[in-house]
């Protein structure tokens, strides 16, 4: 004797499948021009985690064991799910990771130093930004040579 399937049961199954598919979707950021400064900063901080995993040929579970950061948080960071956390949380996790990476510790110290610099006049700030971009472009070109 076959169980009769109701339309409402089928609709519930479809709804559940759609919700599960939404959860599985990765965040893909293709147009960074539409991002806020906060989101761009979050992405740049997430990159430290990705680079650390790649450089040390680690799996996310290994990073969890090393740092104590929840696996779900590590997954969100690695997939750039930037709406799931705040900058201060991300900086806190990055600070934990910096205990295992002198390179990341240096970057955090640089950020700290930049924040503590007094405000500069606009003209000087623009000149500084221009010089930093030149240095960054040169370093990027050297990476690909």
Tens digit of pLDDT at every position of the chain (145 positions): 566 777 777 777 777 777 766 555 545 566 677 888 899 999 999 999 999 999 999 999 999 999 999 999 999 999 999 999 999 999 999 999 999 999 999 989 888 887 877 777 888 888 888 988 888 888 777 766 6
pLDDT of residue 29: 61
DSSP letter, residue 82: G
What's the predicted TM-score (pTM) here?
Answer: 0.63
Domain boundaries along the sequence of the chain = 34-118
pLDDT of residue 145: 61
Measure Cα distances from 92 to 4, 11, 42, 86, 108 in Å. 54, 43, 12, 10, 11
Burial 98-134 (b: 16+ CB within 10 A, else e): beebeebeebbeeeeeeeeeeeeeeeeeeeeeeeeee
pLDDT of residue 143: 62
């Amino acid at each position: 004797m076959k169980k009769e399937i109701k339309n409402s049961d089928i609709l519930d199954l479809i709804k559940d499948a759609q919700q599960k598919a939404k959860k599985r979707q990765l965040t893909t950021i293709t147009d960074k021009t539409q991002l806020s400064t906060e989101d761009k900063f979050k992405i740049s901080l997430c990159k430290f985690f990705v680079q650390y995993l790649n450089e040390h040929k680690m799996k996310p579970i290994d990073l969890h064991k090393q740092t104590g950061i929840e696996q779900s948080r590590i997954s969100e960071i690695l997939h750039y799910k930037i709406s799931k956390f705040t900058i201060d949380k991300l900086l806190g996790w990055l600070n934990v990771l910096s205990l295992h990476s002198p390179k990341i510790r240096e970057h955090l110290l640089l950020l700290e130093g930049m924040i503590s610099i007094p405000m500069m006049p606009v003209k000087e700030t623009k000149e500084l930004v221009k010089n930093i971009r030149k240095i960054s472009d040169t370093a990027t070109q050297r990476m690909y040579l």
